[in-house]
């Protein structure tokens, strides 16, 4: 597993807002090395600071500015160009997931290149790269915001080290507790005359039990439901009725 | 496969810019139904229009505004709440990939809820949902921009229907062409006295051949390289030398 996080390289970005928003989402997903090649409005850039939501100030993301792409990538071994369209170049073309696998499967310093807002990466820059990363954009509405493009990759990077499913569920109650709850409920329904006509009772009980069982209720939920049934049938506090 | 695209539901969003940016990235990845619950600054919102990059105007994304969440989700069958943190709620918690699989595996109208910029989704809204979607954010820099949160889901939605790898490569040249090229190169290197001392020649040739073979050159690339070798060795045009 590659423990190095890839560098994000913005080639000739125009708007400080996008640089800052890109830095913010990098920080959200654990990327820290931002390389900015020839930003149109110079550096530092107040709009970038504002949109970074503190990513620069907190040291979560470190920006470095370069005059040329060649300088920006000099210490990297593997480069991936993000492009919206096929360029007819002789390079492997990756989805986000495959790009992340390629990076984590090797152990070399890697950079991901993103082009300017209007024009994308120039062909000169794409040629320098080992592979192309492309997103499955809607052909009829293909212009992705620069920071969103960085965000999609950043999330994929963060997701590769995260478990696929984090269970938010406590374990289901033991069957004894669930069955006790269902019997309690059915007893009260019987008392209330719910099972009519009597020959339909089995089907009605099965329907209820299937629904309760499928929900995988926890102990706490079973207790809450029993309390609710009790309250509905004999009341609570001053509303309590006393059965024979 | 669920052919219905999920609805994106923004609950109490504050900034028009974020609503517009969310709409833009929805459109980029084929999502069209945007439901906006009680937007702070009302609707329509000029900042939203600007940041949508034409998504509303072009009809790529259709916004509908609701006063309450209950109205906004009334016609949907399955709801997923996006939250940054665990809520201690009894619901399955999905990664982006699993959420998309869950949606495509069923065939019911589904909504994905996103909370307001500062506060996220209120617990009341999370309780109404069937499941939670959470992103693997950096705990020390966890505040994700609203439109970026929508963008991450939108990309995952778009990616599920896209092929994982789009090969950008032409097929490698037939081995005969590649071998011919290597022999041509080696012949010229021999003539230039490159293989010295002579007993090292085999190793040097193997190194070169391994490198050339690994690169999977196409016919065009083989032709180009042969031309380059020829130009280096006997020149072109006026620089052409004539060998015996």
More confident residue, B109 or B166: B109
Other CB atoms closer than 10 Å to residue B79's CB: what's the count? 21
Supply the pTM of this predicted model. Answer: 0.79
A-B Cβ pairs (cutoff 8 Å, strict)? 163
DSSP three-state, residue A34: strand
Question: Under an 8 A CB cutoff, do A27 and B138 touch?
Answer: yes
Residues of A in contact with B129 (CB under 8 A): none
Q: Which of A27, A97, A148 sits opposite B151 (nearest CB)?
A: A148
Q: How far is B73 from chain A (nearest CA, A)?
A: 22
Q: Which of B28, B97, B138 sits opposite A164 (nearest CB)?
A: B97
Q: Which of A132, A141, A166 sits opposite B93 (nearest CB)?
A: A166
ipTM: 0.77
User: How far apart are alpha carbons B95 and B89 in whole angstroms?
Assistant: 16
Q: Which of A25, A137, A161 sits opposite B148 (nearest CB)?
A: A25
Q: How far is A44 from chain B (nearest CA, A)?
A: 22
- Give the pairing type, strands A131-133 and A93-94: parallel
Contact B155, A152 (CB under 8 A): yes
Q: How far is B95 from chain A (nearest CA, A)?
A: 5
Over residues A25-52, the pLDDT tens digits come to 999 999 999 999 999 999 999 999 999 9
Reply yes or no on whether the pLDDT at B80 is more than 90: yes
Beta strands in chain B (DSSP E): 7-11, 33-37, 62-66, 78-82, 93-94, 110-114, 131-133
Residue A1: the pLDDT is 41
Report the chain A residue with the minimal C-alpha distance to residue B218: A90
Average confidence score pLDDT of chain A? 89
Over residues A6-17, the pLDDT tens digits come to 999 999 999 999
Mean pLDDT across B94-114? 91
The sign one gets for the Cα dihedral A76, A77, A78, A83 is: positive
Helices (H), chain A: 16-28, 46-51, 69-73, 96-105, 123-127, 146-160, 175-191, 201-214, 219-234
User: How far apart are alpha carbons B60 and B34 in whole angstroms?
Assistant: 10
Residues of A in contact with B134 (CB under 8 A): 166
Other CB atoms closer than 10 Å to residue B163's CB: what's the count? 10
Contact B108, B78 (CB under 8 A): yes
Reply yes or no on whether the pLDDT at B86 is more than 70: no
Q: How far is B140 from chain A (nearest CA, A)?
A: 8
Question: Under an 8 A CB cutoff, do B141 and A55 touch?
Answer: yes
The sign one gets for the Cα dihedral B30, A103, A10, A91 is: negative
Reply yes or no on whether the pLDDT at B192 is more than 70: yes
Residues of A in contact with B97 (CB under 8 A): 159, 164
Residues of B in contact with A221 (CB under 8 A): 90
Residue B167: the pLDDT is 59
Pick from A33-42, A61-70, B217-226: least confident: B217-226
Mutate to test the interface with A, among B98, B126, B152 (most CBs of A within 10 A): B152
Question: Under an 8 A CB cutoff, do B98 and A164 touch?
Answer: yes
Over residues A174-223, the pLDDT tens digits come to 888 888 999 999 998 888 888 888 898 888 888 888 878 877 788 888 88
How open is the CA angle A135-B143-A132, to the nearest 5 degrees? 20
Q: How far is B235 from chain A (nearest CA, A)?
A: 26
Mean pLDDT across B123-134? 90
User: How far apart are alpha carbons B162 and B165 in whole angstroms?
Assistant: 9
User: How far apart are alpha carbons B34 and B62 in whole angstroms?
Assistant: 6
Percent of chain B, pLDDT > 70? Answer: 94
Q: How far is A188 from chain B (nearest CA, A)?
A: 27
User: How far apart are alpha carbons A1 and A42 in whole angstroms?
Assistant: 37
Question: Under an 8 A CB cutoff, do B137 and A28 touch?
Answer: yes
Return the DSSP state at B116: B
Residues of A in contact with B166 (CB under 8 A): 86, 93, 95, 134
Residue A108: pLDDT band (50, 70, 90) is: confident
Q: Whose CA is closest to A34, among A128, A99, A103, A112?
A: A112
Residue A73: the pLDDT is 93
Give chain A's end-to-end CA distance (angstroms, integer): 70
Report the chain B residue with the minimal C-alpha distance to residue A61: B141
Contact A152, A31 (CB under 8 A): no
Residue B203: the pLDDT is 85
């Amino acid at each position: 597993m590659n423990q190095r996080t890839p560098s994000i390289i913005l080639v000739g970005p125009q708007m400080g807002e996008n640089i800052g928003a890109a830095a913010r989402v990098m920080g959200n997903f654990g990327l820290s090395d931002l390389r900015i090649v020839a930003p149109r409005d110079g550096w530092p850039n107040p709009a970038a600071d504002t949109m970074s939501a503190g990513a620069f100030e907190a040291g979560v993301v470190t920006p470095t500015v370069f005059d040329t792409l060649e300088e920006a990538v000099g210490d990297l071994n593997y480069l991936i160009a993000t492009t919206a369209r096929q360029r007819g170049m002789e390079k492997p073309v990756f989805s986000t997931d495959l790009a992340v696998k390629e990076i984590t499967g090797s152990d070399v310093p890697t950079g991901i290149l993103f082009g300017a807002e209007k024009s994308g990466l120039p062909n000169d820059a794409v040629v320098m790269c080992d592979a192309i990363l492309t997103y499955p954009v809607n052909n009829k509405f293909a212009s992705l915001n620069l920071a969103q493009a960085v965000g999609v990759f950043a999330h994929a990077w963060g997701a590769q080290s995260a478990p696929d499913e984090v269970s938010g569920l406590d374990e289901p109650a033991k069957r004894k507790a669930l069955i006790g709850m269902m019997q309690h409920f059915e007893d009260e329904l019987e008392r209330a005359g719910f099972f009519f006509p009597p020959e339909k009772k089995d089907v009605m009980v099965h329907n209820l039990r299937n629904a309760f069982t499928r929900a995988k209720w926890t102990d706490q939920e079973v207790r809450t439901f029993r309390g609710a049934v009790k309250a509905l049938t004999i009341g609570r506090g001053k509303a309590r009725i006393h059965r024979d």
